[in-house]
Amino acid sequence: MKKALKIGFLSIIALLFHTATYAQCAMCRASVENNVSNGDTSVAAGLNLGIMYLFVMPYLIAMVLGYFWYRNAKKRKAKIAMH
């Protein structure tokens, strides 16, 4: 119960004391805007691909860890059932 209260308290504190941030640095944004205004969209496409790569990797890692956990749990359950 104390652990849940601590987590709840820290979550409320984190929500109250947050700062607004932007996803792109000023130089990246200026570079993309300049290239797009000149008709070159390859830099913007590359930046979007990089963002998607960074977005997908945590989910991919979680899926791989989940698969190994499931496989290990399945083997453990089969081993217990055999005895």
**Domain residue ranges in the chain:** 2-82
- The strand ranges marked E within the chain are none
The stretch 13-35 carries a mean pLDDT of 74
pLDDT at 63: 96
Which residue from 31, 57, 26 is spatially nearest to 44, judged by alpha carbons?
31
What share of the chain has pLDDT > 70, as a percent? 92
pTM given for the model? 0.50
pLDDT at 69: 96
Spatial distance between the Cα atoms of 51 and 28, rounded to a whole number of angstroms: 12
